[in-house]
Amino acid sequence: MTVTENIQNDTTNGTANGTANGKADDTANGTANGTIPDISLALNPSDVESVPGLLKDIASTGNSFVAQEDRASRLQLLAQARQLVRALETPRETMLKNCWGEPGAYCAIAACMTIGVFPELAKDDGSPKKVSDLAKTLNCDEKLLGRLMRHLGTMAVIKETGPNEYKPTNFSTSLTIPVIGDGFPALAGGGMAAVYKFPAWLQKYGFKNPESTTEGPYQYAYDTHHNLFGYLMAHPPLGMQFNHHMGGYRQGRPSWMDPGFFPVEERLAAGADTAEGAALLVDLGGGHGHDINEFRRKHPDAPGRLILQDLPDVLAQITELDGKIERMGHDFLTEQPVKGARAYYMHSVLHDWSDETCLKILGRVKAAMRPGYSKVLINENVIPDAGAGWEATALDMMVMTLLSAEERTEKHWRSLVGRAGLKLVKIWSVENGSESLIECELP
**Residue range 22-57, pLDDT digits in tens:** 343 444 444 556 789 999 999 999 999 999 999 999
The Cα 413–Cα 429 span in angstroms is 14
- Contact, 143 vs 137, CB < 8 A? no
The reply to whether 211 and 261 lie within a common domain is no
Give me the chain's average pLDDT, please. 92
Indicate whether 4 belongs to any domain: no
Percent of the chain with pLDDT over 70: 93
- Both 72 and 103 in one domain: the answer is no
Q: Residue 41: inside a domain, yes or no?
A: no
Residues 266 and 402 in one domain: yes
The verdict on 195 and 289 lying in the same domain is no
Which pLDDT value is given to residue 142? 98
Which of 195, 216, 241 is the last residue before a domain boundary? 241
Q: What is the pLDDT of residue 238?
A: 96
- Give the chain's domain count: 4
Structural domain boundaries enclosing 62: 48-89
Are the C-beta atoms of residues 151 and 117 closer than 8 Å to each other?
no
Q: How far apart are CA 398 and CA 381, in angstroms?
A: 14
Note whether 224 and 84 are same-domain residues.
no
Residues acting as catalytic residues: 351
User: pLDDT tens digit string along 170-217?
Assistant: 999 999 999 999 999 999 999 999 999 999 999 999 999 999 989 999
Do 307 and 256 lie in a common domain?
Answer: yes
The angle formed by the CA atoms of residues 80, 82 and 83, to the nearest 5 degrees, is: 60
Q: Distance between CA 267 and CA 261 in Å, rounded?
A: 12
Q: Convert the pLDDT of each residue in 354-366 to its tens digit.
A: 999 999 999 999 9
The answer to whether 371 and 395 are in contact (CB under 8 A) is: no
Burial group, residue 125, by CB count within 10 angstroms (0-12, 13-18, 19+): exposed
Q: Is position 278 within any domain?
A: yes
Give a yes or no: residue 122 inside a domain. yes
Q: What is the pLDDT at residue 190? A: 97
Contact between residue 380 and residue 435 where contact means Cβ atoms under 8 Å apart: yes
Instruction: Please say whether the beta carbons of 274 and 335 come within 8 A.
Output: no
Distance CA 80, CA 99 (A): 24
**Residue at 132 is within a domain:** yes
Q: Is residue 28 part of a domain?
A: no
pLDDT of residue 31: 55
Supply the pLDDT for residue 26.
Answer: 46
pLDDT-derived band at 244, boundaries 50, 70, 90: very high
Q: Could you tell me if residue 33 is inside a domain?
A: no
Does 260 share its domain with 134?
A: no
Whether residue 314 sits in one domain with residue 266: yes
350 neighbors 381 (Cβ within 8 angstroms): no
Residues 152 and 128 in one domain: yes
Which whole-number Å values give the CA distances from 121 to 9, 115, 139, 155, 182, in the listed order? 46, 12, 14, 17, 17
If asked whether residues 339 and 220 sit together in one domain, one would say no
Q: Are residues 117 and 256 in the same domain?
A: no
The reply to whether 314 and 165 lie within a common domain is no
Q: Are 361 and 352 in contact (CB under 8 A)?
A: no
